[in-house]
Amino acid sequence: MDKFVDESLRVNLLLDYIVSQGLKGNHLLFDNEQIRKAFEKRGEELADLGTKKIQEVREALREIFSLPGMDEKREYISQLPEEVQGILIFLYFQILEKNILSKRPRPH
């Protein structure tokens, strides 16, 4: 149980760090070319993902969070199929957007 808690905490801290850097415009896991290619594709294409592709993305996320350093994570991502990279990038930017929106003051 402790191993699970330690791993979960490590992943959460890493995700918090990646998101906090992303909110500052520092996209640690993706280079500008990867981001540009992902946004050239239409978001509707992502809405029609099959179960197999979703499983590929889940496995990629598990592997990314298991790798020790950012260089290893970037290298792994660059080796993924372009479609999986695109999905990861869209997910990443959705997380950033939700984070930004959740911090906006709400009108009364």
The predicted-structure confidence for 39-84, as pLDDT tens digits, reads as follows 887 666 666 667 778 889 999 999 999 999 999 999 999 999 988 9
- Count of structural domains within the chain: 1
Among 80, 83, 79, 85, CA closest to 30 = 85
Grouping H, G, I as helix, E, B as strand and the rest as coil, residue 17 is helix
18 domain-assigned: yes
- Using the predicted structure, report yes or no on whether residue 106 has a pLDDT greater than 60: no
Q: Return phi, psi of residue 21, to 5°.
A: -70, -40
13 domain-assigned: yes
61 domain-assigned: yes
Q: What is the pLDDT of residue 20?
A: 93
Beta strands in the chain (DSSP E): none
Q: What is the pLDDT of residue 69?
A: 92
Query: CA angle at residue 81 from 75 to 85, to 5 degrees?
Result: 70
pTM above 0.85, yes or no: no
29 domain-assigned: yes
Average pLDDT, the chain: 85
Q: What is the pLDDT of residue 108?
A: 53
> What is the sign of the dihedral through the CA atoms of 67, 70, 75 and 77?
positive
108 domain-assigned: no
Grouping H, G, I as helix, E, B as strand and the rest as coil, residue 42 is coil
Q: What is the pLDDT of residue 19?
A: 92
52 domain-assigned: yes
Two tokens, residue 4? 């699970």
67 domain-assigned: yes
Two tokens, residue 77? 């991502």
Domain residue limits at 26: 2-103
